Amino acid sequence: MQIIYSDLLCIGAGLAGERVAVEAAKAGFNVTCLSIVPPRRSHSSAAQGGMQAALGNAIMGDGDCPDIHFADTVKGSDWGCDQEVARIFADTAPIVMREVAHWGVPWNRVEAGVHTYYKGGKPFDAEEKRDKHGLIHARAFGGTAKWRTCYTADGTGRSVLNTLDSMCLRYEVGIHDRTQAEALIHDGENCLGAIVRCLKTGELKAYLATATLIATGGYGRIYRATTNAVICDGGGQIAALDTGLVPMGNMEAIQFHPTGTVPTDILVTEGCRGDGGTLLDVNEYRFMPDYEPEKAELASRDVVSRRMQEHIRKGLGVKSPYGDHLWLDIRHLGEKHITTKLREVYDICTNFLGVNPIHDLIPVRPTQHYSMGGIRTNKDGAAYGLKGLFSAGESACWDMHGFNRLGGNSLAETVVAGRYVGKKIVEFLQGHTVDFKQSAINDAHTKVAARIMEMTKSSSKQESAIQLRDEMHSTMMDNVGIFRNGKDLQAAVDKLDELIDRSKSIKLQGTAIGFNPEISLALRIPGMLKLAQCTAYGALMRTESRGAHTREDFPERNDKEWLNRTLAYWKDGETRPELKYEETTPYFEIPPGERGYGGGKIIAADIPEEKLQVPGKGTDKKKAKQTKKAS
């Protein structure tokens, strides 16, 4: 078996993986990035909208600062985030945006003078300041007090990824594309790298590294209707969970995006609504202001998705062969705006739907979009349970998003966390050596090789990976969607128990020498079922509604009992995850309160006085008083 050594192994080469790689390579370390696809095809490239950072250059972002960004993020998370992490994020985001600008990102810039913008579909004029001319501009996104989302037309992910990939080229980061990490190599204490399958030849190789980063994005593919790319199958989370040592955080926190298109589930950006697009029902009536008078279409994603589903349930959706949907209307933005600032949207509508958004309404419905949960790390990005293992970006539960993330915050997280965690990894590499134990390498290799051998050769097995995937999809769509309840979740958990059991008997249908795409799916399905079970079981046990997790049978946000984070461990040989809980945040800079949108009752917590202090900043008496009043 070929063995490849690096100081840092990045599993995943999207925005987070490449940003970490650049940081370590700049510090002189030898870095290898693994990627299922060439890095520029990573799902980061599909992010259209933008990155939130409180630069405050745009007139509609005038007076913005990290404090306001932090407050929006905490509210957006429904107080489910780690406030120390959210603070690090909000404070560093502006610096990171400028840094990538220095490296080549062509951010859209402020143009001094009067411009016509839209809010809630209505035009208004605003004058951009002369002294801000040429600085990074921002657009509106949901759940924010200020216009704060930095963007490059509607290809932000593309342009930032191109820039980071060019930096990887410049700093000679080793890119090994068409590779899939199948298992982590570890000795029970230290992570030592990964057993990797080459997707060109099918060969298994060992990649050894002093530090290993998982940055493989989300696990949206456990749902059938998802905006996620085909490769977002949770490979990184599965490798971590399979160690039995590393827990997943808040797997039940799944975000549905309000505007997935019908029937292809391709996302159209929140920028549509940010720029003034509206949501209409079967009667072409704009319904969101009735539910959310203040924020309307620009309430946070969980709220808009829920209101849309609620409206469809009232029978006011548009009937179609692919199920009920609603309309997104951007016609009033005009041809110029749609074909420049929203060009990807225009392309998607014309190429995939046969709809021209300049003249026609776009069919949309809430679609699985983002995993707030993932590999639980501390604020340095270090995974719980194994030394030398890190995670950043969507694959991680770092946890600045809690139970709902704001649009533009996750794309920003990739590079902000990438930079921050990258620096922590550099510190780790500078002070750390590790022994690569032959037995650990062999153990990991044997496990993967044995699985492939069994599904190829064994005559007693007969389950089809495709069939199991389809049944998982139906279960997750029907029972673990936007609105959840105990009965449905229990049914999902029971069904997933069965599927997990059956997944031990997967047999390949066809044979091929070298690389066989069927093996990729067959190797992934048992792990995806485990992630699905962590999601369903975590959702069943969490008897409250918070952010994107909405229980019809427990509609209150229960801070008294559930102001915590779910940790799901999966011990070898077990059929279900073991759930543990930890405190949401080490302290509350902003004590739990009303979000100001979404409605819903809150069962207040009794938070001890010392938890309301920011360490090093002393007591914030005013805030402490507010909480008492609220409770």
Partner 1 sequence: MSRRLHIEVFRYNPLDPNSEPHMQSFYVNEYDSMTLFIALNLIRDEQDPTVQFDFCCRAGICGSCGMVINGRPGLACHTQTKDLPDHIVLHPLPVFKLIGDLSVDTGTWFRDAGARIEAWVHNDHDDFDASAEEVRMENDLANDIFELDRCIECGCCVSACGTARMREDFLGATSIARIARFYLDPRDERNEENYYQVIGNDQGVFGCMGLLGCEDVCPKHIPLQDQLGIMRRMLAIHSVKGILPKRVLDKLKHKGCCHESH
Give, as ranges, the residues between 122 and 141 that touch partner 1 (CB under 8 A).
133-137
Question: What residues from 314 to 333 belong to the interface with partner 1 (CB under 8 A)?
Answer: 321
Q: Which is nearer to partner 1, 110 or 241 (CB)?
A: 110
Segment lying near partner 1 (by CB under 8 A), choices 1-9, 140-148, 247-255, 345-353: 345-353
Question: What residues from 152 to 171 belong to the interface with partner 1 (CB under 8 A)?
Answer: 152-153, 155, 158-159, 162-163, 166-167, 169-170
Query: Nearest-CA neighbor of 73 among 544, 403, 367?
Result: 403
Q: d(Cα 254, Cα 75) in Å, to the nearest integer? A: 17
Q: Which is nearer to partner 1, 107 or 597 (CB)?
A: 107
Residue 233 sits at the vertex; the CA angle it makes with 231 and 237, to the nearest 5 degrees, is 125
Coil/strand/helix, residue 405:
coil
158 assigned to active site: no
Question: What residues from 11 to 40 belong to the interface with partner 1 (CB under 8 A)?
Answer: 26, 37-40
Both structure tokens of 528: 């995806």
Tell me which long-range contacts 449-453 makes (C-beta under 8 A, separation of at least 24).
449/204, 451/523, 452/519, 452/523
Q: Which is nearer to partner 1, 456 or 631 (CB)?
A: 456
Q: Is 272 in the site for partner 1 (CB under 8 A)?
A: no
Q: Which is nearer to partner 1, 104 or 123 (CB)?
A: 104
Q: d(Cα 82, Cα 105) in Å, to the nearest integer? A: 30
Segment lying near partner 1 (by CB under 8 A), choices 199-207, 300-308, 443-451, 585-593: 199-207
Q: Is 54 in the site for partner 1 (CB under 8 A)?
A: no
* 187: phi then psi, degrees, rounded to nearest 5: -110, 20
Q: d(Cα 34, Cα 214) in Å, to the nearest integer? A: 10
Q: Which is nearer to partner 1, 164 or 440 (CB)?
A: 164
Cα→Cα distances 85→401, 449, 617, Å: 9, 39, 16
Segment lying near partner 1 (by CB under 8 A), choices 174-182, 278-286, 449-457, 488-496: 174-182
Least distance from C-beta 418 to partner 1, angstroms? 15
Least distance from C-beta 300 to partner 1, angstroms? 24
Segment lying near partner 1 (by CB under 8 A), choices 65-73, 91-99, 557-565, 570-578: 91-99
Member of 122, 200, 319, 625 binding partner 1 (CB under 8 A):
200
Neighbours of 308 (CB within 10 A): 26
Query: Nearest-CA neighbor of 248 among 375, 80, 371, 372?
Result: 375
Report whether 245 contacts 571 (CB < 8 A): no
Q: Which is nearer to partner 1, 111 or 127 (CB)?
A: 111
Omega prior to 263 cis, within 30 of 0: yes
Q: Is 395 in the site for partner 1 (CB under 8 A)?
A: no
Alpha helices in 458-516 (DSSP H): 465-479, 486-502
Residue 220 sits at the vertex; the CA angle it makes with 563 and 578, to the nearest 5 degrees, is 45
The binding track of 436-475 with respect to partner 1, each residue x by CB under 8 A or -, is ------------------------------x---------
Coil/strand/helix, residue 234:
coil
Q: Is 564 in the site for partner 1 (CB under 8 A)?
A: no
Question: What residues from 471 to 530 belong to the interface with partner 1 (CB under 8 A)?
Answer: 508-518
Least distance from C-beta 14 to partner 1, angstroms? 11
Given 40, 186, 197, 273, the catalytic residue: 273
Given 257, 301, 337, 405, the catalytic residue: 257
Enzyme catalytic residues: 257, 273
